[in-house]
Structure 1
């Protein structure tokens, strides 16, 4: 069967509306069209035709020109003025053969003319032409809608691919950079750590030798005596162990930073591994320590840790650490923006605070709340915060991908959830929910 004939592709909703005040014409046209496979509805004047069209839209209207109550020209004008009916093809039927009437009808939006008295084959041929055009228009509309859907899906797919590429590139570049720095730091740190105890012993030996020398030499020369007083050996002997102790504490601190860098930049395997989320949080905060200190009008940012007892979580540690980094960086930005809007005294009265709360949920999930006391956000911004390329920062201050990447890591890579709660002037809280046992690893 072919699909270009109404008999083979008839739908109950598709019909031709015939409008004529002559019952004989209505009967004849109905018979011709029904034999050709069309469903037909009839109207005896323009007013009833418009009422029928308002209830159901025909695929084609055969419209008589000369009718009582409302003639064909006025009926056509009303149909074309209505956005819902303006695209329905109208074929005028008339015994008026002068060119002016035909031009008037065509100018009102009619697509064709049928001259009375009817020739059945002509009527059917003209109706078939416009029926096929209707079908072609339907197909084109469907193809257009399908193409628009495909374009939208493709665009979304490309955007997701862009986020993944940016995420992978950032993780790779940052991981290599931080791992390289940690590796380069390792040798000099090890040298200092190993040599400070030896230096302590050597200095202790020298101080003992000096004390022994002083006890043996009872009468030093005037020059030696003056030199010893100028050097203030007693102060040196007392202060030098303190200096070495401070150096030892500093090397321990550098070791902690180096360990935090290695923890933060650890390269993820192809499968998820058990990871201590608290270790990830702490290492990320240590790297951001410089941003937590007082800056200009902004006082130091206090970090409050309310850690619960958590099991190891199966995840990609490097990716989870990147999520922590993005959320902490956004919290610090929000606090800095809030402080810029306040005076120095107001800043002192409104302490900057980031609160981290972790807990076990339903024995299957863990929750991490990261809350700041910053400026908060409007509902419009909150609803778009995870959209790609959406950012409230100025030009050159961010790509807008940070939170979109965080959302993708948590939701797609770890089958978790990330939610945000915020009110203007009342701060913002991000809530991460992660399964303890990773899936699809």
Structure 2
């Protein structure tokens, strides 16, 4: 019996020893597990940090890419603006030079036409008086009078001289308008008649709309004061808008029959008015095919154009928008209804801010 107790005690001691060993192993396993969990947490934290850094790097790269694209667009825009400004300045100098060279001989002709008319009138009066006093001239004089058709000359010469006078007067008006339009190199703002700028621009484009009965231009001018502006650049805006309107109407007329054009002629309407005592509004509209909303929203984007290659650079309207908004502190809005037409509304102050004028 004693031996059994002793054996049982030894067995219990053995079990307690094994239990202590297992307990230590369990403790070591728990420690290792905790260490693994901590290592896992650190790795997960490091992985999340790496992922976050990668996301930030990707976002930064995308931002830099957008900024680079925008910078490239801005550079191209600035370069095109410089080219356009130089082109318009050269055009202004060229037109001004041509107008000056034309003006001198035209003034000479115009000034002498008055004397020529007077001389011709006196000579015709003398011939008529001679024929009245000597109704039976010699055969040689009679033969020459018949050969020259003297009666026709007496009737037609005043008409010819009148036509020449009207022609030279028209040339003088054209030269004046060209000189008005060509003020591209004027750096300072000045008070000008807005209507003169519009009329000068229409004169430059006259060969495109007046020679064609398919396009009518309606001027609805209000009473405006002299407006302080940069006249050459403002004329450029008028040129861009009116040229686009003519392009749109010509394109629309290609698809219409002569009868349709006769019944509903293409029209460009120019209206000017005072918004209040400090602001002027110029509205230029056409009854063409108009444009979709998606196109209208991009009309002022640099390099955007709906014209075919070689017919448009997509810079006319963006530059016009900049001239009105930045140079004149005004507004340029576009409204269009597909199938009805398009309208551009220019709003500029009557007087430029002192800081801009200086």
Map Cα deviations across residues 393-425 of structure 1 (whole Å, 9 max, x no partner). 111111121111111111111111111111111
Give the structure-2-normalised TM-score: 0.84
> How many angstroms apart in 1 are the aligned matches of 2:216 and 2:40?
85
* Matching residue within 53, 63, 72 for 1:155: 72
* Matching residue within 393, 406, 428 for 2:320: 406
> How many angstroms apart in 1 are the aligned matches of 2:341 and 2:52?
57
Deviation, 1:355, is 0.9
- 2:302 is the alignment partner of 1:385: no
* Matching residue within 272, 275, 286 for 1:372: 286
Query: Residues 334 and 138 of structure 1: is their aligned pair in 2 closer, same or farther, counting only changes over 3 Å?
Result: closer
Deviation, 1:123, is 4.9
> How many angstroms apart in 1 are the aligned matches of 2:61 and 2:304?
29
Q: Is the 8 A contact 1:163 1:405 kept in 2?
A: no
Partner of 1:222: 139
Partner of 2:233: 319
Partner of 1:193: 110
Partner of 1:234: 151
Please give the secondary structure, in 2, of the residue aligned with 1:370.
Answer: strand
* Matching residue within 160, 168, 171 for 1:251: 168
Query: Residues 219 and 132 of structure 1: is their aligned pair in 2 closer, same or farther, counting only changes over 3 Å?
Result: closer
Aligned length: 328
> How many angstroms apart in 2 are the aligned matches of 1:192 and 1:394?
45
Alignment of 1:25-424 (within 5 A): 116=33, 118=35, 122-123=39-40, 126=43, 129-130=46-47, 133-134=50-51, 136-215=53-132, 217=134, 219-295=136-212, 299-424=213-338
> How many angstroms apart in 2 are the aligned matches of 1:119 and 1:301?
86
> How many angstroms apart in 1 are the aligned matches of 2:165 and 2:186?
35
> How many angstroms apart in 2 are the aligned matches of 1:383 and 1:306?
28
> How many angstroms apart in 1 are the aligned matches of 2:67 and 2:352?
33
Deviation, 1:363, is 1.4
Q: Is the 8 A contact 2:289 2:341 kept in 1?
A: yes
Query: Residues 220 and 138 of structure 1: is their aligned pair in 2 closer, same or farther, counting only changes over 3 Å?
Result: closer
**5+ long unaligned stretches in structure 2:** 1-25
Partner of 2:347: 433
Map Cα deviations across residues 326-349 of structure 1 (whole Å, 9 max, x no partner). 111111111111111111111111
Query: Residues 372 and 212 of structure 1: is their aligned pair in 2 closer, same or farther, counting only changes over 3 Å?
Result: same
Deviation, 1:214, is 3.2
Query: Residues 222 and 345 of structure 1: is their aligned pair in 2 closer, same or farther, counting only changes over 3 Å?
Result: same
Partner of 1:53: none
Give the structure-1-normalised TM-score: 0.69
Deviation, 1:133, is 2.8
Please give the secondary structure, in 2, of the residue aligned with 1:357.
Answer: strand
> How many angstroms apart in 1 are the aligned matches of 2:298 and 2:37?
62
Query: Residues 224 and 414 of structure 1: is their aligned pair in 2 closer, same or farther, counting only changes over 3 Å?
Result: same
Map Cα deviations across residues 333-373 of structure 1 (whole Å, 9 max, x no partner). 11111111111111111112111111101211111111111
Query: Residues 118 and 256 of structure 1: is their aligned pair in 2 closer, same or farther, counting only changes over 3 Å?
Result: same
> How many angstroms apart in 2 are the aligned matches of 1:347 and 1:135?
65
Q: Whose RCO is larger (CA < 8 A, sep 6+)?
A: 2
> How many angstroms apart in 2 are the aligned matches of 1:318 and 1:276?
12
Map Cα deviations across residues 168-216 of structure 1 (whole Å, 9 max, x no partner). 1232122122112211211111111111011112222322333344355
